[in-house]
């Protein structure tokens, strides 16, 4: 008998939602395999697993957004029977609610209007504002959110916005509330308000599924955690007594992938030094050095401040205090243009939204960091553009029919190679790479690793930010862990152990 079954049998509360024998396949991917899962009324169940473990697929099964290839999904004792878009409506009617990582509030509308977005109470075609605001105040009050219902969302703090998203799912009679990384973008004091709200929801008899990697939060508000890996439910453990390293082992697998240790040469020249950099609320005091020809990995949970750190160094975001020095020369307040001129390049986390211009060609996307090399008297040369792009395309193994093919038609991996390639074209010597392998296939990942190692061998210095802990030993000379606004631990090749890195990321001590 599994721990999950014992929990149900030992509980006096009814089962709110269950999944039995569910399997879901997508082209080339087994997203969920023969999964069994259940959660009881008033329970807060943590759901753990690295990226791609199957958490999102399981959630979509419960919300009716996906239909399993086999197996059943039951809400409130009744199996979901509808198909297509009707299935999600059926799950909603049975009381399933979800709050995703990306908030969906409309800043220019009032709190009450957002709570009832798309389903405003009407009478004779007229919105009943008084009734709507009264019910909105009641829903917010259940979470301790004492705000006027007619106030605009645009003036709310990040924590207040997150609580408003949660309050929205309390309108009506929810049975199951799913919270997907609800504190990932919040500082500790703000996260405390969300955890208090979760406890209140559970006290009303509502089942809660809480997706997070923050073990201090999980230990405080839940008793049990279901751990997923490679589309399968591996175990359900008592988080009060479970060791963090054991939870990491279940998430990553008992046998970590064996990789050849990187052969790293001794490096002494410092190209970048960051001292006591602070940016509230994410970064408290960050200090490190980046050496010439080094790949420095930065590990940390979603929302730990990794992106903010890279943006602060690149001059995209102004930091509160601290110093940045390039080649031992202090820079007071770096700006993007200045850092580019000093040989820095930055690839953003969101490739589609910030990294590429989809309708422009591979050539224009590659060369936009330096058009001067392919122009004469301010006029672009088509032949020079083609030749310069071809050099990058061949070097980075970008698969494209022509150099002027719209980049939006390329695969994610080839798009990412172009994003990196534009800084190779600009001859940048320090590259800040934010999640450079996100959303690309296994083959493209291996190629990107090889590209990064080759660039480092040529003397370029690289900061490599990744949520996928297992790839850090493959590409990094050193790895530092960003947690609670500071760099907490450091690992050096060939002793970069992915289990130890993950444990350092989620450490609750």
What one-character-per-residue DSSP string does 222-283 give?
A: -SEEEEEETTEEEEEEETTT--HHHHHHHHH-SSPPP-PPP-------EEEEEEEEEETTTE
| pLDDT bucket at 506, cuts 50 / 70 / 90 | confident
| pLDDT bucket at 508, cuts 50 / 70 / 90 | low
**7/496: higher pLDDT:** 496
d(C-alpha 335, C-alpha 272), whole Å: 15
- Inform me whether the pLDDT recorded for 277 exceeds 90: yes
**237/185: higher pLDDT:** 237
Q: What is the maximum alpha-carbon separation in the chain?
A: 80
| pLDDT bucket at 188, cuts 50 / 70 / 90 | low
Angle at which helix 55-63 crosses helix 85-93, to 10 degrees, equals: 80
| pLDDT bucket at 255, cuts 50 / 70 / 90 | very low
The pLDDT of residue 463 is: 96
Task: Specify the 3-state DSSP secondary structure of 20.
Answer: strand
Nearest to 208 by CA among 138, 143, 161: 143
d(C-alpha 187, C-alpha 157), whole Å: 11
Q: What share of the chain in percent tops pLDDT 70?
A: 93
d(C-alpha 262, C-alpha 437), whole Å: 19
The pLDDT of residue 187 is: 66
Count of other CB atoms within 10 angstroms of residue 121: 13
Candidate from 40-44, 372-376, 449-453 with smallest mean pLDDT: 372-376
The pLDDT of residue 163 is: 86
The pLDDT of residue 6 is: 39
Taking residues 45-72, report their average pLDDT: 91
The pLDDT of residue 256 is: 44
Taking residues 195-209, report their average pLDDT: 91
0.85 cut: is pTM over it?
Answer: no
- Summarised one tens digit per residue, pLDDT across range 107-163 is 899 999 998 887 777 887 788 888 888 888 988 888 888 889 899 998 888 778 888
Q: Which residues share a beta bridge with 37? A: 19
Q: Which residues share a beta bridge with 492? A: 478
The pLDDT of residue 1 is: 32
| pLDDT bucket at 4, cuts 50 / 70 / 90 | very low
* Domains of the chain, CATH where assigned: 1-94+208-255 (3.40.50.300), 270-506 (3.40.50.300)
The pLDDT of residue 8 is: 42
Is 216 within 8 Å of 508 (Cβ atoms)?
yes
Taking residues 303-331, report their average pLDDT: 91
**421/256: higher pLDDT:** 421
Candidate from 200-209, 238-247, 261-270 with smallest mean pLDDT: 261-270
- Summarised one tens digit per residue, pLDDT across range 338-386 is 999 999 999 988 777 788 888 888 888 888 888 888 888 778 888 888 8
Taking residues 14-25, report their average pLDDT: 95
- Inform me whether the pLDDT recorded for 401 exceeds 70: yes
| Contacts within 8 Å (CB) and 24+ apart, 60-64 | 61/19, 61/22, 61/24, 61/32, 61/35, 62/17, 62/19, 62/91, 62/96, 62/176, 62/178, 62/209, 63/88, 63/91, 63/92, 63/96, 63/98, 63/178, 64/88, 64/89, 64/90, 64/91, 64/92, 64/96
Question: If you average pLDDT over every residue of the chain, what do you get?
Answer: 86
| pLDDT bucket at 165, cuts 50 / 70 / 90 | confident
């Amino acid at each position: 008998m599994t721990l999950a079954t014992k929990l149900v049998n030992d509980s006096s509360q009814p089962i709110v939602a269950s999944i039995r024998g569910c399997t879901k396949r997508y082209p080339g991917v087994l997203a969920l395999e023969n999964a069994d899962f259940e959660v009881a009324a008033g329970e807060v169940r943590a759901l753990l697993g690295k990226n791609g473990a199957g958490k999102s697929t399981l959630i979509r099964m419960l919300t009716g957004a996906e239909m399993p290839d086999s197996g059943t999904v039951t809400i409130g004792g009744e199996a979901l029977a509808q198909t297509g878009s009707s299935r999600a409506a059926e799950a909603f009617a049975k009381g399933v609610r979800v709050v995703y990582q990306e908030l969906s509030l409309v800043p220019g509308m009032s709190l009450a209007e957002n709570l009832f977005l798309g389903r405003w109470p009407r009478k004779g075609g007229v919105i009943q504002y008084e009734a709507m605001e009264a019910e909105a105040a009641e829903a917010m009050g259940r979470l301790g959110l004492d705000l006027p219902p007619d106030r605009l969302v645009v003036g709310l703090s990040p924590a207040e916005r997150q609580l408003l998203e949660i309050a929205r799912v309390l309108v009506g009679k929810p049975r199951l509330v799913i919270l997907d990384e609800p504190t990932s973008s919040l500082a500790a004091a703000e996260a405390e308000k969300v955890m208090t709200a979760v406890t209140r929801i559970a006290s009303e008899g509502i089942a809660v599924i809480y997706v997070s990697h923050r073990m201090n939060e999980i230990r405080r508000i839940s008793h049990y955690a279901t751990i997923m890996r490679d589309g399968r439910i591996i175990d359900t453990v008592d988080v009060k007594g479970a060791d963090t390293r054991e939870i990491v082992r279940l998430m990553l697998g008992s046998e970590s992938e064996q990789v050849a240790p990187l052969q790293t040469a001794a490096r002494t020249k410092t190209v970048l030094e960051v001292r006591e950099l602070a940016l509230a609320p994410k970064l408290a005091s960050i200090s490190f050095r980046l050496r010439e020809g080094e790949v420095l990995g930065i590990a940390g949970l979603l929302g730990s401040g990794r992106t903010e750190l890279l943006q602060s160094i690149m001059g995209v975001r102004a930091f509160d205090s601290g110093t940045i020095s390039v080649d031992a020369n202090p820079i007071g307040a770096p700006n993007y243009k200045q850092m580019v001129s000093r040989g820095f390049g930055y690839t953003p986390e969101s490739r589609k939204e910030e990294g590429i211009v989809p309708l422009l060609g591979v050539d224009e996307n590659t060369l936009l960091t330096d058009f001067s090399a392919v122009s004469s008297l301010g006029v672009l040369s088509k032949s020079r553009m083609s030749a310069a792009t071809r050099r990058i395309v061949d070097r980075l193994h970008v698969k494209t029919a022509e150099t002027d093919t719209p980049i939006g038609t390329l695969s994610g991996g080839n798009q990412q190679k172009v994003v990196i390639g534009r800084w190779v074209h600009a001859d940048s010597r320090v590259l800040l790479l934010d999640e450079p392998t996100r959303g690309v296939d296994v083959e493209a990942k291996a190629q990107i690793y090889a590209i990064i190692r080759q660039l480092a061998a040529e003397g370029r210095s690289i900061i490599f930010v990744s949520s996928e802990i297992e790839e850090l030993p493959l590409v990094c000379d050193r790895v530092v862990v960003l947690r609670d606004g500071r760099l907490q631990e450091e690992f050096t090749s060939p002793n970069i152990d992915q289990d130890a890195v993950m444990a350092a990321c989620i450490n609750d001590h």
